[in-house]
Amino acid sequence: MGVPSGEGTAVEPDFSRPHTARVYDYYLGGKDNYLADREAGDAVLAAWPGARTAARVNRDFMHRAVRHLAAEEGIRQFLDIGTGIPTEPNLHQIAQACAPECRVVYVDKDPLVLTHAKALMRSAPEGRTACVHADVTDGPDRILNAPELTDVLDFSRPVALSLLALLHFVPDEQGAYGIVRHLLDALPAGSALVLSHGTGDFDAATMERVAQVYRRGGNAAQSRSRAEVARFFDGLELLSPGIEVPHRWRLSEPGPELTRVGTQGVPEATEVTDAAVGMWAAVGLKTSPAA
């Protein structure tokens, strides 16, 4: 079943090729993935056994970042690009638990993601949610001008822009830095950027093997160093602790271990190391009209 695109055409999911959102769903133990996604996921896991841990750590970082922005910074609007398959609690549930009036717009290029989002992402009565079908590499204006977005978000008030585990699929030749700058320039002072990004800083050879798996599946991939990730935050005020591995970003309780229910329903304790996670994460605030 297709879903409307930003330009009113129906687009059918392609299940013959892996999609990053569905592979990510596979890492998290979800059921909304297909053979091509599982094969790609298994190939990544063979090269990088930490992929499942990284996916969980990334979700935990999102929860903490959104909770902080809603509860401590007073942000009531969120634009989440590269949404992925809905996994509870999702971003709007975290934000609206802090402030029920929060408004959230989800954006993804996979029509299957938006099909699930429309069915599952129900807003609190005081707030609103909406979904936009768009690929960020087709140009930020397609997202910013989408009627689903402009009907929900007020760009005269602060917006938190969430780009989680997305930009390592947007290589330099596709204009990753320009895309982020264009999006931030559209947001007023008081807005925020929430970002996580794969890196080869801890194990370059492994991350390059992972990138090759994604490229073979038709997905662009590029890891970036800490300094390269920092460039996305140029002109923003980084919240403490700055650019950090996501499993150490503002932990409410210290400790290097996560306990989760495994994909077969069996509790598992995972020692979280920087190399296993292979990501940087940060939150920056836009303190002036020009980022």
CATH of the domain at 16: 3.40.50.150
End-to-end CA gap in the chain: 40
C-alpha 212/C-alpha 195 separation (Å) is: 23
1 within a domain of the structure (yes/no): no
H helices of the chain, in order, are 20-27, 35-47, 51-71, 91-98, 111-120, 140-144, 147-150, 176-185, 204-216, 226-231, 274-277
CA dihedral 10, 11, 13, 18 (to 10 degrees): -160
- pLDDT value at position 259? 39
Chain-centroid distance, C-alpha 204? 22
Beta-bridged to residue 285, according to DSSP, are 192, 237
Q: Among 13, 10, 30, 143, which Cα is nearest to 85's?
A: 30
151 within a domain of the structure (yes/no): yes
For 50, the domain range is 12-248+258-285
Quote the number of domains for the chain: 1
- pLDDT value at position 208? 93
231 within a domain of the structure (yes/no): yes
Q: What is the pLDDT of residues 75-130, one digit of tens each?
A: 999 999 998 766 678 899 899 999 999 999 999 887 776 676 666 666 667 889 99
C-alpha 72/C-alpha 65 separation (Å) is: 10
**Over pLDDT 90: what percentage of the chain?**
53
Torsion angles phi and psi, residue 128, rounded to 5: -150, 150
- pLDDT value at position 260? 43
How are beta strands 103-108 and 128-133 bridged, if at all? parallel
CA–CA distances in Å: residue 41 to residues 46, 162, 188, 246: 9, 24, 38, 21
CA–CA distances in Å: residue 1 to residues 29, 106, 130: 23, 19, 19
6 within a domain of the structure (yes/no): no
User: What six digits make up the tokens of 175?
Assistant: 């204009």
C-alpha 40/C-alpha 209 separation (Å) is: 12
253 within a domain of the structure (yes/no): no
At residue 196, the 3 state secondary structure works out as: strand
Degrees, nearest 5: CA angle 280-281-283: 150
5 within a domain of the structure (yes/no): no
C-alpha 87/C-alpha 121 separation (Å) is: 10
41 within a domain of the structure (yes/no): yes
Question: Low-confidence residues of the chain, pLDDT below 70?
Answer: 1-14, 19, 85-87, 113-114, 116-124, 252-271, 290-291
Beta-bridged to residue 161, according to DSSP, are 79, 193
- pLDDT value at position 29? 74
- pLDDT value at position 117? 62
Amino acid identity, residue 150?
T
What's the DSSP call for residue 7? T
- pLDDT value at position 137? 92
7 within a domain of the structure (yes/no): no
CA–CA distances in Å: residue 164 to residues 18, 130, 170, 222, 290: 19, 18, 12, 14, 23
Is the overall model pTM greater than 0.95, yes or no?
Answer: no
- pLDDT value at position 218? 84
